[in-house]
Amino acid sequence: MQITFLGTSSGVPTRSRNVSSLALRLPQRSEIWLFDCGEGTQHQIMRSDLRVSQIRRIFITHMHGDHIYGLMGLLASCGLAGHPEQIDIYGPPKLEEYIKACCRYSQTNFHYPVKIHTVDSGLVFKDDSFTVHCNALTHRVPAFGYRVTESDRPGTFNVKKAEAMGIPSGPIYGKLKRGEWVTLDDGRRINGAELCGPTQIGRAVVYCTDTIFCDNAVELAKDADVLIHEATFAHQDAELAYQRLHSTSTMAAQVALMADVKQLIMTHFSPRYAPGNPKQPHDLLTEAQAIFPNTIMAYDFFNHEIVRS
């Protein structure tokens, strides 16, 4: 699992930061899951090593323009490029209405399947390898944070031990690797779990933006490997954060601390902290690290690998 940040500014783009979007790469299934799609996202993808053809799911946090204005352009381009796979889009109420209106007034037709799912707090998606949950955040419009959790996997299969026990190779090994019980031709029953190392705990990544500090974000992020949390404002501008229902650097750090996550990555920075202004991005990083030391700051095209514990 690898995260690529495609836009890390809030509200409007700057010379060095585009508006919100990030990609979660799932190499084991050659898929990309996109989270938010601000204006210019498809241009950012073209400047990266991501492939539009691998986009399989898109998760939208809320309906503000800096998170959705790039969606129709991206979907239209996928159609022109002959995207062969269905794209599933998840988001708050009004998302489907917005997409249908854009299609109607621009006379855009998707020549590939597009399915839109309206989300509510709880389970959003589940298959054998991943689950996605969302939780309502606190913003001026309905907004949701998302948590992607990888399924646990059996530990490494001990082939030498299996051979020493006289277990024939073949399909039986596949069952034993999954930790299943197998009955051999000689009548012996073998517990696959005893031939595997410790269970590999699935990784979890959480994405929370736009929101003021809230308990739902802490609940969603509990024990996650990586929490990606907005940090629109510096601590000194907390009053603005409360007025606009955004987070400060210290609020993001408090969520990470209370949720006991392993890593905090801050994003969604106000342009007021762009180079040349009195307060700089590294100041926000210093504020957050004073509360949660394992904090880093995202920038456009930053890649972060989520490793297994």
The whole-angstrom separation of Cα 16 and Cα 9 is 9
> Other C-beta atoms within 10 Å of 112: how many?
14
Active-site amino acid positions: 66
C-alpha pair distances (Å), 41 with each of 50, 175, 297:
12, 43, 20
CB distance 6 to 22 below 8 Å? yes
In sequence order, what are the beta bridge partners of 183?
189
The whole-angstrom separation of Cα 217 and Cα 137 is 7
Look up tokens 């509360």; give the residue.
291
Closest CA to 292 of 284, 300, 281, 302: 284
CB distance 264 to 294 below 8 Å? yes
* Contacts by 40-45, CB closer than 8 A, 24 or more apart: 40/7, 40/13, 40/70, 41/6, 41/7, 41/70, 41/71, 41/73, 41/74, 42/70, 42/73, 42/74, 42/77, 43/18, 44/6, 44/7, 44/18, 44/300, 44/301, 45/6, 45/74
User: What's the alpha-carbon Rg for the chain, to the nearest Å?
Assistant: 22
* Helices 71-80 + 95-106 axis angle, to 10: 60
